Every structure is written in C-alpha cells, then in structure tokens.
Structure 1
Amino acid sequence: MSVNRNERNVMAVALLLLLGWSIAACSSTAPQSAGPPVHTVFLWLKNHDSAADRARIIRAAESLRIIPGVVRVEAGRQVSVPAEMVDRGFDLAVAITFRDRAALLRFEGDRYCRQAMARYLRPLVRRYAVYDSGVR
C-alpha cells in the first residue's frame, strides 16, 4: 500500500492531535482555587424611592468592616446599561470581600452581622438574594 506525501502529512497531524488530546485528558482536572470569597447581596427595598433608606443600608453595610476577616465592603445602585440580559429589578447591591473562606463562614454566624440584619434589613428590605463567589 503506497501512501503519498499529503496523506502522510494528514496522518501525522491527526496523530499529533490525538496525542495532544490524550495527554490533556490524562492531566489533572482538579479545580483551580478561587480567589478571595465575595459575598454579594442584591436588595429590593420596601420603599425603593427612599434615598434615606438606601443611605442607612449602605452605612450599615460599611460598618461590617469591623468584623475580622472582612477585607472590603462596597455598595451601590445598579448601573444603567442598555443590555437585554441585565436584571434591572434590584435597588441596591452590597459586595463584601473576605480574606478567605473561613472568614466568610465565620461572618455568617457573627453576632454583629445578625444584629445589623435585624436592625436594617428586616425593616427596610422587601427581598434579598445572596451569591457567594471567588474572584481572581
């Protein structure tokens, strides 16, 4: 059976691709560690037109910086962007960055955090959604 030069080149490329795929399939697929955890809370206010309520919640959120392990607290309103996929339903978002996962877990049971929720979230917030993620 005679194989011409073009067929040999095609076979060589196919073999290299197969070899590369095999090596990639055998390599470790362990998930990469995420960066510091970010606890993002989206809030729907009972009185969504109230700048005073929004300011109270932002002050309360910023006060959470005193909790050990909290690295940064940022809060703000939604950004108006002309995109169909953007959810425009929330009134305020708070993003809290933690030193590590253990700090996030401690935060969720922290007495000061629970007091702030009882004092500010319950009376002023109709609904909220929380998302935890790791960013790099």
Structure 2
Amino acid sequence: MSTTNRRKFIATAATVAAGTAVASAMPITNTMSKYPVVHHVFFWLKNPGSVDDRNKIIAGLKTLRKIETIKELRIGVVASTEKRDVVDNSWGVSELMFFEDLAGQATYQSHPIHQEFIKNCSHLWEKVIVYDAIDV
C-alpha cells in the first residue's frame, strides 16, 4: 500500500470512528423511553358493519386528547394486512395511549372526560379488551 493510500485509509477510518462515537453518545429518543406506560384498548362494535357507529367511537376517543396526562394518543381501525393465524382482525377500533407514569394512567381512568366518553359511547361496543404494559 502506498503512503498516500495508507493516509487516505487512516483518515477515512478516523472519520468513521469519530462519527460512530458521536452517534453512540447521542440519546435515543422514542415514545417508549419518554412515555413508558402503554394503555392499548380494543373495541368490538355491537354493529360491526356500521361506519356511523365506528365514527362515533373515533370521535369520542379524540376527545380524550384533552386529558393532560395522556402524552400521546393513537386511534386506529383494522388494517388490511395479510391474513395469518396469529392476526386478530375481529375488533373495530383501537386506542393506543402513552403515559409518563402509572399515576398519569390512573388520573386518566377517573378523569371526567374519560368518564363522559364511556357514558356517551359504551352503548356502541359489545366487548372491550385492555392491554396495559410498562417499558422494561
């Protein structure tokens, strides 16, 4: 290897190493690390074919964004993905919420806006399943 090529190699290697060191020192931010408490709810509609009922639940869920302890709220409907034995697409609407801590999730549960959502929309669903998790 010539001296010029060796110098280019060393300079390139040093640049790559410095970039790697800087990148590894940068904090990784994502929803889970910022908001480790996850509350995922699935709703099965009494009238699964009713777009109107589905939209009423979605509108009700959107009101929950006003609750200050909810740091992020995602609302979804069944995606048209590949049919597989492990995929449950029997539900109609889901909500995915993120909280800073368990106290925030508890505040949400008893919050008047959440209670109003239940009062106004519970007649639209047949079944609800909740999955609560905390980032480990």
The two structures, once aligned, show a CA RMSD in angstroms of 2.0
Asked if the contact 2:34/2:100 (under 8 Å) is kept, the reply is no
TM superposition shift of 1:127: 0.7
TM superposition shift of 1:124: 0.4
CA distance in 2, matches of 1:54, 1:125: 9
Report the TM-score when normalising by structure 1. 0.68
Task: Tell whether 2:85 aligns with 1:84.
Answer: yes
- Residue equivalent to 2:46: 46
TM superposition shift of 1:135: 4.2
CA distance in 1, matches of 2:82, 2:38: 23
Residue 71 of structure 2 aligns to a residue in which SS?
Answer: strand
Asked if the contact 1:34/1:134 (under 8 Å) is kept, the reply is no
**Structure 1: gaps (5+ residues):** 1-32
Report the TM-score when normalising by structure 2. 0.68
Give the number of aligned pairs: 103
Residue 106 of structure 1 aligns to a residue in which SS?
Answer: helix
**Structure 2: gaps (5+ residues):** 1-32
Asked if the contact 2:73/2:98 (under 8 Å) is kept, the reply is yes
Aligned residues: percent identity? 27
CA distance in 2, matches of 1:94, 1:81: 21
CA distance in 2, matches of 1:64, 1:35: 17
Task: Tell whether 2:133 aligns with 1:133.
Answer: yes
Which amino acid is 1:89 matched to?
Answer: S
Point out the structure with max Rg over C-alpha.
1
Residues 1-136 of structure 1 correspond to what in structure 2 (within 5 A)? 36-79=36-79, 80-120=81-121, 122-135=122-135
CA distance in 2, matches of 1:95, 1:114: 17
TM superposition shift of 1:81: 2.5
CA distance in 2, matches of 1:72, 1:59: 16
